[in-house]
Amino acid sequence: MSVLVKVCGLREKQHVADAIEAGAGAVGFVFAESPRKITPGIARSISDIVPRHVKRVAVMMHPAKDDWLAVLEQFEPDVLQTDAEDLEGLVIPAHVECWPVFREGKTTPDTIATYVYEGPKSGQGETVDWSAAAELACRGQMVLAGGLGPDNVAAAIRTVRPFGVDASSALESSPGQKDSRLIREFISAACAAETVL
């Protein structure tokens, strides 16, 4: 099975195009406080080139109900990614997938569908303990995040055997500014790692 590759924190249409052309299976748009934060309207306009087979992910953190509704109505995401405890208080249509975020050091359910596993703080480039993550990866479809980039994603895939990998800050020339070369190198390295599993 191919590893899902997600490029997160996109803010420009060119970088969305770069990710798609390089083979990303998901593209993430951040609606939480971050150098990568974007409005639902802009996210909609720069993601209109995304083909159906690529998931458009709304990345949030402890969203107010009104903020989630604005993202839902204006951006129309395929996936909502937010901390697991946030999901209980939100109205999420059946056609929107949920990717709960579970953080290193906190309790993770025994079985779950697709979920994101990362460090205590999102977007900080903090690598999680891959050995511990490998033990959790069999519980569901783990999307491994945290400190992944072109230089270490292949090792992460070989060690953890995740369903997917997710990168953001390591693909930037400065905070919030994606780098086309790094996007392509990350996806290429992830895809190359798949061939040797």
The pLDDT tens digits of the residues spanning 58-67 come to 999 999 999 9
pLDDT at 197 over 60: no
The mean pLDDT value for 170-196 works out to 92
pLDDT at position 126: 76
% of the chain residues with pLDDT over 90: 79
The residues assigned a catalytic role are: 8, 110
Of the candidates 31, 32, 33, 25, the residue with the CA atom closest to the CA atom of residue 7: 25
The mean pLDDT value for 169-176 works out to 94
Integer Cα distance of 123 and 168 in angstroms: 7
Q: What would the pLDDT profile of 98-135 be if each residue is shown by its tens digit?
A: 999 998 887 776 767 899 999 877 656 678 989 989 98
Matching CATH number, 4-194, of 3.40.50.150, 3.30.70.20, 3.30.870.10, 3.20.20.70 = 3.20.20.70
133: left (phi > 0), else alpha (psi -120 to 50), else beta? Answer: alpha
Give 164's pLDDT tier (boundaries 50, 70, 90): very high
Integer Cα distance of 102 and 118 in angstroms: 7
pLDDT at 170 over 60: yes
Q: How big is the chain, counted in residues?
A: 197
Least confident window among 9-23, 63-77, 132-146, 165-179: 132-146
pLDDT at 91 over 80: yes
Residue 117's φ and ψ, nearest 5 degrees, are: -120, 120
Q: In whole numbers, what is the pLDDT of the chain averaged over residues?
A: 92
pLDDT at position 127: 86
Least confident window among 97-101, 168-172, 191-195: 191-195
